[in-house]
């Protein structure tokens, strides 16, 4: 299937490992010119070397709003205007409603909500002018079915989804789609840390996920690549789960 994104410029945040790297790999494989961003130069360089293709690294911390405001312009100067924006950030710390400090809540809101607003504001004018654009947010199942140990994620990620749903309605007529992909249990370093080890995470998946396994970052990347494509032009304002059937809600 020709996704129609050959030579499109994509900016992928949090792209040096895990789901972000899986997304960057899928877009590069489909011929996009991919800007990969994260706060670790070392991991970014390893990602560029591994992925090959037209992939360029940019150091940026999702919580540094001034840096995020600069980033779309830097990508445009190096690769061309951003056609595809993938917003992805590390998850906030675990804890119940009152287990985390206000500083941790504020940090999560800055990276997961304000960061999304800053990045989308940076790419939307050009997308509107060209009448084509794709914005994909990497979310969590916790916004659909709150998880008791993830109070910050339940709350803050839901705010981002609400913002993006509102945005989707405003830019749909300009040929721009805005979607969130909500993820379940994927084989990432973060999940392994939360579960104590990757072996524990795999054991938990076999017990709780109908598919009886963890998802692979490459599988997540394939879905995002489709949402970024010409073929997905009529899909917008949605929150799409990819979780092996983990969500129980309809």
- Whether the CB-CB separation of 115 and 106 falls below 8 Å is answered with no
pLDDT in tens, 15-64: 999 999 999 999 999 999 999 999 999 999 999 999 988 999 999 999 99
**pLDDT of res. 250:** 80
**pLDDT of res. 166:** 98
Q: What is the CA radius of gyration of the chain?
A: 17
Percent of the chain at pLDDT exceeding 90: 96
* Residue 111's pLDDT band (cuts 50, 70, 90): very high
- Whether the CB-CB separation of 221 and 22 falls below 8 Å is answered with yes
**pLDDT of res. 194:** 87
**pLDDT of res. 91:** 86
Phi, psi of 13 (to 5 degrees): -85, 155
**pLDDT of res. 143:** 93
Averaged pLDDT of the chain: 96
Cα(246)–Cα(171) distance, integer angstroms: 31
Domains and CATH numbers, the chain: 9-188+217-241 (3.40.50.720)
> Which whole number is the average pLDDT over 68-88?
98
What is the widest separation between alpha-carbon atoms in the chain?
Answer: 49
Q: What three-state secondary structure class fits 30? A: coil
For 145, what's the count of Cα atoms within 13 Å in the CB-facing half-sphere? 11
DSSP 5: -
Residue 199: burial class (beta carbons within 10 Å; 0-12, 13-18, 19+): exposed
pLDDT in tens, 151-180: 999 999 999 999 999 999 999 999 999 999
Cα(15)–Cα(224) distance, integer angstroms: 13
> Which whole number is the average pLDDT over 233-237?
98
**pLDDT of res. 115:** 97
**pLDDT of res. 90:** 84
Q: What three-state secondary structure class fits 9? A: strand
The pTM assigned to this predicted structure is 0.96
């Amino acid at each position: 299937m020709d996704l129609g994104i050959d030579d499109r410029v994509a900016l992928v945040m949090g792209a040096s490992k895990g789901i972000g790297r899986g997304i960057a790999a899928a877009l590069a494989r489909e011929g996009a010119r991919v800007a990969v961003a994260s706060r670790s130069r070392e991991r970014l360089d390893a990602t560029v070397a591994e992925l090959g293709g037209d992939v360029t690294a940019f150091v940026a911390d999702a919580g540094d709003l001034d840096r995020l405001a600069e980033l779309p312009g830097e990508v445009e100067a190096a690769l061309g205007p951003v056609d595809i924006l993938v917003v992805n950030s590390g998850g906030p710390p675990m804890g119940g409603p009152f287990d985390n400090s206000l500083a941790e809540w504020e940090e999560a809101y800055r990276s997961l909500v304000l960061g999304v607003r800053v990045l989308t504001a940076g790419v939307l004018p050009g997308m509107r002018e060209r009448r084509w654009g794709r914005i994909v947010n990497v979310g969590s199942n916790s916004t659909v079915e709150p998880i008791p140990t993830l109070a910050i994620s339940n709350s803050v990620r839901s705010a981002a989804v609400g913002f993006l749903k509102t945005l989707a309605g405003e830019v749909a007529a300009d040929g721009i789609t805005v979607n969130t992909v909500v993820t379940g249990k994927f084989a990432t370093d973060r999940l392994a840390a939360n579960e104590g080890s990757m072996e524990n995470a795999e054991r938990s998946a076999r017990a709780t996920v109908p598919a009886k396994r963890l998802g692979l970052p490459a599988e997540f990347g394939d879905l995002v690549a489709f949402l970024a494509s010409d073929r997905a032009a009529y899909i917008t304002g949605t929150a799409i789960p990819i979780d092996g059937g983990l969500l129980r809600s309809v």
